[in-house]
Structure 1
Amino acid sequence: MLFIEPAFPANQREFARALASIGAHVLGIGERPYDWIDDEAKGWLGGYQQIASVTDESALEWAVRNAQSRMWIDRLEATVEAHILPAAHVRERCTIPGISARTAYLCRDKVAMKEVLRHAGVPTSTSAGVSSTPEARDFTDAVGFPVIIKPRAAAGALGTFCAGNPEELEAAARASGLADGATVAIEEFIEGHEGFYDTLTIEGRIAHDFISHYFPNVLEAMRARWISPQIIATNRMDALAYAEVKEMGRQVVKSLGIGTAATHME
């Protein structure tokens, strides 16, 4: 199998280690020279191809087809969010099984994902994609304050701003690049307890799942860096409230077309 960026960031090497430990023949594709990879990690790799950028789909496709010319490739996998969509596009062009480009796009683009989930009956906050400050003002005129402005595709709460009035909206528009024409997601800010619903899904069937509580909420933890966030797992999976969470999770997996993958829902 081909694994994108087996050495950076540092925790990526653990995926290569785990795959090698169960007998997978792992070939790496990355941006760093092979000599920069430590000897232990090299021992988990059966080969390595350096390219200029793993988000450059042309370069990534070249590396994949080069590997395919020498051996059968069962999988092309990535775990870094910015690599997911390029990997999916190349996977489809090279006819390698795995997450489709549609599913990868929906899992990355917050606005498109919410539209699909709303259509499927999954409750979500009101949201839209906007590319100018006047469009954001129109949204708040219709929905009200407070609102969240964030990148359409990002990780965690990076680049996320909360606006509780028109002045804060203007400031968030400038800070996010919206005022300069950047396209962002805007949505109503719904306050409540946050948690995770994570699964291992095989061919669309949830084979393993677990629920965790997050303290404090993500936005607060990202803004107040002195806080050490706590994640608390529960074993009360059959409780009524958790049963509702699990059912919602099943709807999400089905609606987004997730086949075989790990999932993380907040």
Structure 2
Amino acid sequence: MEFAIITNFSFEKFEIDEWLPLDENEYHIFLRKKFNEESKSRNFSKNVVLHFINDWNSCELEYKIIELHKTLKFNKIFCFREEDVVRTAKLRDILNIPGQKEDAALLYRDKLKMKEHLEKFGIPVAKNRGVNDYVDCLKAIEEFDFPVVLKPRMGLGSADTFVIDNNNELYKVAKEVDLSNYIIEKYIEGDVYHVDVLVTDYQVRYISAAKYVNNCLAYKKGKSTASVFLPNSTSKSKSMTSFAKKVLFSLPKEKDNIYHIELFDSNDGIVLCEIACRAGGAQIVPIVDRCYGVNLFKEYLYSQIGLSELSQQEEKGATLSKGYLLISPQVGTLIDFPSKIDLPFIEAFEIYASKGQTYEKLNSSVFALASFEVGGDSAKEVEDNLKLLEKKFKAGVIYKEV
């Protein structure tokens, strides 16, 4: 069989050369040209072909796959990143290859279509409306008042997302940002959770719930991104994972996929924030792998090529309280920071920053100086540990204004 695999990940985080078997299949991996040098140190089997794309945001990827299909006749095409979900679905459509098609993919990428669809199935969502400019926003606010959230309908993660508390803030954002194809939503008060799911052969094989200590927009206020995984035996985890399954059952069924679902725990009950058909970002994949024994990337890959190791297993989930922390940078030039923090509950860490590095516009919750994985005897203890760790690390960070 011939497989087209759209990855676009660094091999440090995505060890596909170790996962793909030497067998009768041929695996064609498509990725950015910037990974060419890195690929030379990896040990790929002879049945793996790498295709480097010069301009990822152009039609070069589609052109290359369509041309190769004329002779290779790909049996499957699949991807791993949210930005590639719709373009991969379109390729399946035009090449008549099985898998998620464009109409279904848009329900995970277009936040307006997503919420319109799920409301029809009784899934609670925030009041929302599609907008294209400042006046459209004012009309929506007349209906559901401040505070509101503005984000691109086809946005990625928390990038270009704004919480608006008053008309002055709205005016400032509308002046600086092209609001074409945005969605405006009523802001929901309450804790935010993420539920991460792996489905193979139409069955849930892994599912876990985690609480954000600071939500995904906290980086805009200088706070770090962090979350605490809840053991599946807890009542809160059960309520969140049960709701997440209702969301999945309300969407077109996919034989094999990964999902990242964000939920509000409001005074009026659980409300959907959004769902994506990709693995969660930040440290979610490493924690699930190291602590709960499921590599979401590897298992999704194996489900696509017919080697799933979970196909005969019962549903798995979080068994221990764990957490991660991404230390958010501030605007300025980094003068100094701790190279290490000695606390007994730190289980893994990685430093991304370097002295002299300048941080300007901060537009993503996964943009970080360092990442940490943390343990504890309970979810509350893990949360306290994360807060202490953030405080100690930031106390040693020095910036120079730019």
CA distance in 2, matches of 1:114, 1:216: 24
Are the equivalent residues in 2 in contact too, given 1:5–1:12 (CA < 8 A)?
no
Counterpart amino acid of residue 10 in structure 1: S
CA distance in 2, matches of 1:164, 1:33: 41
CA distance in 1, matches of 2:62, 2:206: 33
CA distance in 1, matches of 2:30, 2:216: 32
Q: Does 1:234 align with 2:235?
A: no
**With structure 2 as the length reference, what TM-score do the two structures score?**
0.58
Q: 1:53 to 1:4 in 2, by over 3 A?
A: farther
Q: Which structure dedicates a bigger proportion of its chain to helix?
A: 1
Counterpart amino acid of residue 168 in structure 2: E
**Superimposed CA distance per residue, residues 97-145 of structure 1 (whole angstroms, 9 cap, x where no aligned partner):** 2222122111111111111111110111011111121111011011011
CA distance in 2, matches of 1:207, 1:33: 34
Q: Does 1:130 align with 2:131?
A: yes
Which residue of the partner structure matches residue 223 of structure 1?
220
Q: Does 1:253 align with 2:248?
A: yes
CA distance in 2, matches of 1:240, 1:177: 42
**Partner-residue secondary structure (3-state), 2:250:** helix
Are the equivalent residues in 2 in contact too, given 1:147–1:188 (CA < 8 A)?
yes
**Partner-residue secondary structure (3-state), 2:191:** coil
Higher mean C-alpha displacement, 127-136 vs 201-210 = 201-210
Are the equivalent residues in 2 in contact too, given 1:34–1:48 (CA < 8 A)?
no
Are the equivalent residues in 1 in contact too, given 2:11–2:38 (CA < 8 A)?
no
Count residues in correspondence: 257
Q: 1:151 to 1:170 in 2, by over 3 A?
A: same
Which residue of the partner structure matches residue 5 of structure 2?
3
What RMSD in Å do the two structures reach over aligned CA positions?
A: 2.6
**Superimposed CA distance per residue, residues 36-85 of structure 1 (whole angstroms, 9 cap, x where no aligned partner):** 3431346257112344544545x434322443344453321222222111
Which residue of the partner structure matches residue 118 of structure 1?
119
Which residue of the partner structure matches residue 191 of structure 2?
193
Which residue of the partner structure matches residue 169 of structure 2?
168
Which residue of the partner structure matches residue 262 of structure 1?
258
Higher mean C-alpha displacement, 80-89 vs 199-208 = 199-208
Counterpart amino acid of residue 191 in structure 1: E
Counterpart amino acid of residue 214 in structure 1: Y
CA distance in 1, matches of 2:21, 2:79: 18
Which structure 1 residue ranges, 5 or more long, are not aligned?
none
Which residue of the partner structure matches residue 51 of structure 2?
49
**Superimposed CA distance per residue, residues 8-40 of structure 1 (whole angstroms, 9 cap, x where no aligned partner):** x42586152354158674312234178534313
Q: 1:22 to 1:129 in 2, by over 3 A?
A: farther
CA distance in 1, matches of 2:15, 2:244: 25
CA distance in 1, matches of 2:125, 2:198: 23
Are the equivalent residues in 2 in contact too, given 1:143–1:188 (CA < 8 A)?
yes
CA distance in 2, matches of 1:3, 1:150: 29
CA distance in 1, matches of 2:178, 2:98: 37
CA distance in 2, matches of 1:169, 1:82: 27
CA distance in 1, matches of 2:113, 2:127: 12
CA distance in 2, matches of 1:229, 1:252: 25
Q: CA deviation at 1:150?
A: 0.9
Which residue of the partner structure matches residue 244 of structure 1?
239
Q: CA deviation at 1:255?
A: 2.0
Which structure 2 residue ranges, 5 or more long, are not aligned?
263-402
**Partner-residue secondary structure (3-state), 2:33:** coil
**Partner-residue secondary structure (3-state), 2:41:** helix
Higher mean C-alpha displacement, 15-24 vs 39-48 = 15-24
**Partner-residue secondary structure (3-state), 1:89:** helix
Give the ranges of 4+ consecutive aligned residues of structure 1 lying more than 6 Å apart after TM superposition.
none
Are the equivalent residues in 2 in contact too, given 1:2–1:28 (CA < 8 A)?
yes
**Paired residues for 1:72-91 under 5 Å:** 73-91=74-92
CA distance in 2, matches of 1:248, 1:223: 29
**Identity over aligned pairs, percent:** 21
Are the equivalent residues in 2 in contact too, given 1:13–1:41 (CA < 8 A)?
no
Are the equivalent residues in 2 in contact too, given 1:54–1:83 (CA < 8 A)?
no
Q: 1:42 to 1:224 in 2, by over 3 A?
A: farther
**With structure 1 as the length reference, what TM-score do the two structures score?**
0.85
Which residue of the partner structure matches residue 203 of structure 2?
205
**Superimposed CA distance per residue, residues 179-217 of structure 1 (whole angstroms, 9 cap, x where no aligned partner):** xxx221100001211111111113443222111121111
Counterpart amino acid of residue 262 in structure 1: I
**Partner-residue secondary structure (3-state), 1:123:** coil
